[in-house]
Structure 1
Amino acid sequence: MAAMFEQLTIVTDPVAGSVALSAIFASLSLVTLFVLLGVLRMRAWLAGLISLGVALVVAVVVYAMPVGQALLSATEGAAFGFFPILWIVINAIWVYNLTVVSGHFDVLRRSMERVSPDMRVQAIIVAFCFGALLEALAGFGTPVAVTVVMLMALGFRPLQAAAVALIANTAPVAFGALATPIVTLGTVTSGAVADPRLTTDTLGAMVGRQTPVLAVVVPLVLVAVVDGRRGVRQTWPVALVAGLTFGVAQFVASNFISVPLTDIVAALVSAAAVVLLLRVWRPSASPDLHATAAGESVTQAGMRGTGEAGTRGTGESGAEPAGVREGGGVRVGAGAVRRDPAGEVVRAYAPYLIIIAIFSVANLAPVRKALAAEPWTVIFAWPGLDVLGANGKPLASTNFTFGWLPAAGTLMIVAGILTAFVLRVRPGAAVRAHGRTYVELRHAIVTVMAVLALAYVLNQSGQTATLGAFFAQAGGLFVFLSSILGWIGVAVTGSDTSANALFGALQVQTAVNTGLDPVLLAAANSSGGVLGKMISPQNLAIAASAVGMAGREGDIFRRVVGWSLGLLLVMCVLVTLQATPVLDWTVP
């Protein structure tokens, strides 16, 4: 029989009975991870493995967790990292690769480019609007994986494309994957304290009164990243329209329509508003910002035929590389964009229409209920892992949910098969493209599995509880720190869902103990968490692999960490004001 590890209350202060001293050890693996990535510029997969090793040592030596239980905890986390998280990312990129193989990705890119040739506007349309739709449907890294390569093909520099895609993937995250983070938050907080407001609908409404502020700011940040102050000065109307319409739609949908459909409504409304605005307004100037370096086109500079992102630009159909110069199949004549037949444009958009249709059907209440039951979904205790919480009951995280059919990744495989048929990709070419996707993402796969293993060890050994207890000592000041706790959770796990599962109950318990509003702090965990998404090692690894720069995750990290911290400060101030008479009327 496996040794049972009891995670009792005393585990929160195993070092000299001090939570503060214990917190130093509990944070060692997190500090190691960020130092290795941001200071030493180590590859993310290696930094993840080393940090996992640190977490295991602390769990065994400091928290007295049996070695076997610690290793089993890590294996469960690694398995969760692959399924369902990597399962969706791998298959989402495969669908994209099919569009490259068939040559229809260039058609899609030219279609979006015709909306506006201005790359600053394209950043808003592709990364913000289209990325939000992908986040609404799938989440778990899909928007970054897809939009970053679309931006590359439009002529963005590799590091610039990665930064734009990561920063854009903020405001929609809390309602991603049909509001999975909010649903999770409602589940873990509803039984933690006696407050009938802790439901998915109320929490979604509260988050919908926080993240719209980010939505207004993010498009302005994107144009600043692409073209600095000049970009903001020349394109602020379209950035403001995109952000305002998204924020208003997100607020209205989350409060009055449907929490799961929030991002779908917001993304479509924002995209429509941008397209309508561009019919009557254009930037005063549209400088040529396409990536060129030493005579190279973006395809040569960023892809070089290595296939790192599955975007060689040439597929088995012999499609032209996705360059930005004459002869590259993008621009002809004096800056004109080649027009494709209407039928080809429809087929280019078909993969995403297929994805929307499949996910919409799968999330119909009767279908979702049926797929959540056996044999389509199987829930089992992780073999050999036996961890008790302070209440003497097994931790819920020791149960593994294997929804092999309703999993977003499985649905993406179905979408991929239909996409191959619609785009007329031969079965052999489709299978080879799928195999190449695993090879291209091999470093990202290791990174994600290592970091999720780290998160599980932190949680099940008691290190997460120690960090939570340390933050709770701040008392009333915790309202300012609550968003930071969510930010840390997402930065480590790469998932707002996981961060809500880790810290949701802690947030509401701390709120009750300090006289704060549980709904406000629970929502702050999710809203603050979305800003950690852009610096999470998983997303950094996905972005780096997608732009053919695996191993340079540290460079991307330095590009986005300042924006992450700046926007986090905005969220901390907003949540603090919502706890005072100034804005307490915004709390349901």
Structure 2
Amino acid sequence: MWQQLYDPLGNTYLSALVAAIPILFFLLALTLFKLKGLIASLLTLAIAVICSLLLFGMPLGKILSAALLGIANGLWPIGYIVLMAVWLYKLAVKSGKFEIIRSSIATISEDQRVQVILIAFCFGGFLEGVAGFGVPIAICAALLVELGFKPLKAAMLCLLANAAAGAYGAIGIPVIVGAQQGSVPLEDMALMMIAIVQPATLLIPTLLILVLDGLRGVRETWPVLLLIGGLFSGLQTLTLYLLGPELVDIIAPLVSMGALALFMQFWRPRHIYRESDAPPRSSQRWSLKEVLAAWSPFYILTGLVLLWSLPAFKSLFASQGPLAASILRINAPLLHQQVEEIPPIAAAVHTLPATWNIALISAPGTAILLSVLLTTLLSSRLSWQSAGEQLRQTVKELWRPLIMICLIMGVAYIANFSGASSTIGLALAETGRAFPLLSPAIGWLGVFITGSVVNNNTLFAHLQSVTAVQIGTSQALLVAANTSGGVMAKLISPQSIAIAAAAVNQVGAESSIMRMVLQYSLALLAYVCIWTFILSLLV
């Protein structure tokens, strides 16, 4: 048995500063030293091991076990979900269905204000839900350019639109990881995400039109803005509240796209707005049957993930459920119930569980895998061999970011079990009730550096949760604030900017795109900070 130590140097601030060395190194490695993410993550893991061993006196065996447990949780369920989601997307492209989807969306309206709502906001939100990892920015920015948008503006609009969907990308993984790392019930975090993010989501379509065509554009397209803003945000809220985060970026965008396509059959803006006289290059028309067939992989995905989210389905895998045996539980050696958390972090001394749960059937990734198998079976242009080749390509493209996620998970688990996160939390708690004003900025910084809301929550969700306990506010609120603040940094993270520039063939213009988006990122961050602080006074 080993007991955590929260002030090894006899000074709260000095102990916290030393405890933060791995995180500070990781941030500097990616910015100042410009190391590759994989190298930076590996070195950070090594530094975390050394700090836990020398500063906190944690036995080496327990440190290595914590690191392995974090890496294992990075592989399953997180890596499993991401891999399956991107594989499904690639199969949609390979089968030719995705080209029909893109073309059918592009022909709904010639007005570029409507197109930016349909493509950057709705379609981009959908792609964030099924794939994430920069896929929506890359595809939607390129599509807007194809439809006659100026390249830099197309990139900026897609980055800005991502603020509405970034929290729930890749089947809700950012929120799920935040709840897990912050040790808060997913239902409680969902409520706080609704309170913080959804008011902003309601206004993102209006902001997009203001950027594109000013107040005149808002006056001429207000029916669309009212319809899509209310429908998209409302459906996100209902899905998050009733079903959880997995389908938030799937149901709302799908229904919103359908509603807008139907609405445009009966309504047209007073003037058709286009940035140039050049006609859109994508003008092919498809039949309703072809369009419906093209969307089939995502109908299947939605149905299966919805099934996986139902309480009746989840109850099958509860401790006494008929399928409980399908969840493999592996206790981390030298770690499970062998580390004691003590006051003031805990109300009383208690041991920490350390178990890797491998949900073979109930994991969301399995629902996506079934979607992949059914899509392959039902598509005449796909064979099992071509599906296997697409999986190989997906692994080839994603192995580096997936390993980076696993290594960062290892760092986070070491920090949590060694007490380093708690040490930093105790120091931050000295700011008292003013901390919620700063809480989202920590998440903003985390995503700006790592480019990932998942990595940000892996690093800081536990820290936010510990600090919340110390200052007497809601843990779920601060973990949600960490997530929400992080989403606002996705607009300007170097990774997002690089993807956007490459998508519109403007490599080298990254600084120009950054300047165009920065003010909106900071304004949205200010909103999250102020609103979080107000909520902290109410909950």
TM range (shorter): 0.7 to 0.9
Q: CA-to-partner distance for each residue in 1:505-528, whole Å, 9 max, x for gaps?
A: 42542343xxxx53xx63242144
Change (3 A) 1:183 1:357: same
Within a 5 Å distance, the mapping from 1:168-247 to structure 2 comes to 168-172=161-165, 177=171, 181=175, 185=179, 204-219=190-205, 230=213, 234=217, 237=222, 238=224, 242-247=228-233
Q: Which runs of 5+ in 2 are unaligned?
A: 343-348
SS class of match (2:63): helix
Distance in 2, Cα, partners of 1:511 & 1:182: 24
Matched, 1:421 2:421: no
Q: After TM superposition, give the deviation of residue 125 of structure 1 in Å.
A: 3.0
**1:321 corresponds to which residue?**
none
Distance in 2, Cα, partners of 1:169 & 1:370: 35
SS class of match (1:389): strand
Matched, 1:469 2:426: yes
- Structure 2 residue identity aligned to 1:86: G
Contact (CA 8 Å) 1:74, 1:454: kept in 2 or not? Answer: yes
SS class of match (1:344): helix
Q: Among 30, 33, 42, which residue is 2:35 paired with? A: 42
Change (3 A) 1:547 1:275: same
Within a 5 Å distance, the mapping from 1:15-414 to structure 2 comes to 15=9, 17-117=10-110, 121-133=114-126, 142-144=131-133, 146-151=135-140, 154=143, 156=145, 168-172=161-165, 177=171, 181=175, 185=179, 204-219=190-205, 230=213, 234=217, 237=222, 238=224, 242-251=228-237, 266-268=252-254, 270-272=256-258, 274-275=260-261, 278-279=264-265, 280-282=267-269, 284-287=272-275, 335=281, 337-372=283-318, 373-386=323-336, 387-391=338-342, 392-396=349-353, 398-414=354-370
Q: After TM superposition, give the deviation of residue 558 of structure 1 in Å.
A: 5.8
Contact (CA 8 Å) 2:63, 2:414: kept in 1 or not? Answer: yes
Q: CA-to-partner distance for each residue in 1:384-419, whole Å, 9 max, x for gaps?
A: 4355132454323x2111112222222212111111
SS class of match (2:132): helix
Contact (CA 8 Å) 1:144, 1:543: kept in 2 or not? Answer: no
Distance in 1, Cα, partners of 2:253 & 2:98: 21
**1:193 corresponds to which residue?**
none
Contact (CA 8 Å) 1:483, 1:572: kept in 2 or not? Answer: yes
Contact (CA 8 Å) 1:485, 1:503: kept in 2 or not? Answer: no
Change (3 A) 1:242 1:39: farther
SS class of match (1:65): coil
Contact (CA 8 Å) 2:436, 2:533: kept in 1 or not? Answer: yes
**2:395 corresponds to which residue?**
438
Q: After TM superposition, give the deviation of residue 357 of structure 1 in Å.
A: 1.1
Q: CA-to-partner distance for each residue in 1:328-382, whole Å, 9 max, x for gaps?
A: xxx8xx7561113433322210110110111112222222221454332122212
- Structure 2 residue identity aligned to 1:456: Y
TM-score, length basis structure 1: 0.72
Q: Which one is further off, 495-504 or 45-54? A: 495-504
Contact (CA 8 Å) 1:486, 1:524: kept in 2 or not? Answer: no
Contact (CA 8 Å) 1:489, 1:498: kept in 2 or not? Answer: no
**2:469 corresponds to which residue?**
509
TM-score, length basis structure 2: 0.78
Q: How many percent of aligned residue pairs carry the same amino acid?
A: 26
Distance in 2, Cα, partners of 1:524 & 1:112: 38
Q: After TM superposition, give the deviation of residue 200 of structure 1 in Å.
A: 5.9
Q: Which runs of 5+ in 1 are unaligned?
A: 191-198, 291-330
- Structure 2 residue identity aligned to 1:339: R
- Structure 2 residue identity aligned to 1:494: V
Q: CA-to-partner distance for each residue in 1:97-146, whole Å, 9 max, x for gaps?
A: 1122222221111011112456665454345334545666x6xxx33454
Distance in 2, Cα, partners of 1:339 & 1:351: 21
Distance in 2, Cα, partners of 1:548 & 1:393: 51
Contact (CA 8 Å) 2:297, 2:371: kept in 1 or not? Answer: yes
Distance in 2, Cα, partners of 1:472 & 1:152: 42
Q: CA-to-partner distance for each residue in 1:74-119, whole Å, 9 max, x for gaps?
A: 2221221122112111111111111222222211110111124566
